[in-house]
Amino acid sequence: MKELAYKEKLGQLVPVSEIRYRETARMGALRDSLVQLASLVAEEANPDDPGRARKAIMAGVNQVLNQHIAEARTELAEAASQALQAAEERAAERVAAHA
């Protein structure tokens, strides 16, 4: 954990909240692009029933996005846990240094 404290001092670590914000924005932009793509290709995929094609495309898009969102949440939770542990260790080191 001393390595984490060192990297934090060097500015090599980014707060979990900032990563969460960036990932949320990135996934939102990706979802918007894929929704637009589904609408654009639905007519060509099934000219007789573009609504059905769009629905099928969106089902696949949502499945993939939900998987990536779940993975991102797990990674963020792990990062937050590590950051908390590092902060607790730094606090304990400070207390020990003043004892």
3-state SS track over the chain: CHHHHHHHHHCCCCCHHHHHHHHHHHHHHHHHHHHHHHHHHHHHHCCCCHHHHHHHHHHHHHHHHHHHHHHHHHHHHHHHHHHHHHHHHHHHHHHHHHC
Under 8 Å between Cβ of 4 and 13: yes
Predicted confidence (pLDDT) per residue in 16-55, tens digit: 777 778 888 888 898 899 889 988 999 999 999 999 999 9
Q: Is 38 exposed, middle or buried (0-12, 13-18, 19+ CB in 10 A)?
A: buried
Structure tokens at 2: 């001393």
Q: Is the pLDDT of residue 4 over 70?
A: no
Portion of the chain with pLDDT greater than 90, in percent: 26
pTM value is 0.61
Q: Is the pLDDT of residue 57 over 90?
A: yes
